[in-house]
Amino acid sequence: MAVKIGILGGGGRMGLALVRQIAATPGAALAGGCERAGHPALGQDLGVAAGLTPAGKLLTADAAALAGAADVLLDFTLPRIVAEHVEMAARIGTPIVVGTTGTEAAEDARIRAAAATVAVLRAANMSVGVNLLLALTRQVAATLDADFDIEIVEMHHRHKVDAPSGTALALGRAAAAGRGIEHDKAAVRGRDGITGERRRGSIGYAALRGGNVAGEHSVIFAADNERVELTHRATDRGIFARGAVTAALWLAGKPAGFYSMADVLGFSA
């Protein structure tokens, strides 16, 4: 039987990309989609909204009903509400894939706590290529010593609300793990004015916003007279939707626990 996938944030750009991906994926079926009260697309057929034939599933504001009807949930919503969605999924017993980024430490703790009750898969980025980049970043950081300064540069579309991106921060954490240092102490998340010289061993971030860029990330290892750069460029949001649906199919039926895309793909990031 097909795995029924519900989309929290079903009326957004990513949500509609997920509708299209579910329709194109053997073994996947659309359970429905949910949006906040007052969203202009409420009541629309999700298939029609995504540019497909009618799906017979309307966009609603009832997240709990969607969770009850789905075998697994996908969350691409907002940082301030994602922890509530995960806790709701835990109460109902529906596994959930979280792609929402930009949460604070308190929300992160709530999401991890819910994994004691239900299967939770969280990834800053669902792309296969980005997860390979995470693994490579950790390996290179472990190989090159602190003579190589680490800088992370990312660019996204003008509508993205958080910076640095969740993927950029995941790359920084991978680099810190490779170096055996504490990320939050090493991170420099912005520079402005007279900042003084660069602190040895720090991990710098730069965030660019503009146009309709789906996502670009570069990890730069810069030493005197040489530089190593690892880069991933996403040209279509569809790669994230494809990875998210793959994750949802993998997670359905899994026991309670906290999972990542590294589990789905079979390698450690």
pLDDT class for 237, splitting at 50, 70, 90?
confident
pLDDT class for 266, splitting at 50, 70, 90?
confident
Instruction: Please indicate whether the domains covering 3-122+237-265 and 128-234 agree at the CATH topology level.
Output: no
C-alpha distances (whole Å) from 159 to each of 142, 165, 209, 213 are 35, 12, 8, 10
Does the domain at residues 128-234 carry the CATH identifier 3.10.520.10? no
**Quick check: is 156 catalytic?**
yes
Q: Identify the pLDDT of residue 128.
A: 87
- When computed from its CA atoms, the radius of gyration of the chain, rounded to whole angstroms, is 19
- What is the Cα–Cα distance from 154 to 63, expressed in whole angstroms? 32
Average pLDDT, integer, range 107-135? 94
Kindly report, residue by residue over 11-29, the tens digit of the pLDDT. Answer: 998 999 999 999 999 999 9
**Superfamily for 3-122+237-265?**
NAD(P)-binding Rossmann-like Domain (3.40.50.720)
Structural domain boundaries in the chain: 3-122+237-265, 128-234
- What is the Cα–Cα distance from 89 to 117, expressed in whole angstroms? 9
- What is the Cα–Cα distance from 223 to 151, expressed in whole angstroms? 11
Average pLDDT, integer, range 104-119? 96
Q: Identify the pLDDT of residue 268.
A: 53
Q: Identify the pLDDT of residue 124.
A: 83
**Quick check: is 4 catalytic?**
no
**Active-site residue, selected from the candidate residues 160, 217, 232, 254:** 160
Give 225 or 131, the one with higher predicted confidence.
225
C-alpha distances (whole Å) from 32 to each of 7, 12, 16, 59, 267 are 6, 14, 11, 7, 31
% residues pLDDT > 90 (the chain): 91
| Sign of the four-CA dihedral 183, 184, 190, 192 | negative
Q: Identify the pLDDT of residue 14.
A: 92
**pTM of the predicted model over 0.85:** no
Kindly report, residue by residue over 165-223, the tens digit of the pLDDT. Answer: 999 999 999 999 999 999 999 999 999 999 999 999 999 999 999 999 999 999 999 99
Q: Identify the pLDDT of residue 218.
A: 98
**Active-site residue, selected from the candidate residues 156, 157, 159, 183:** 156
- What is the Cα–Cα distance from 54 to 59, expressed in whole angstroms? 12
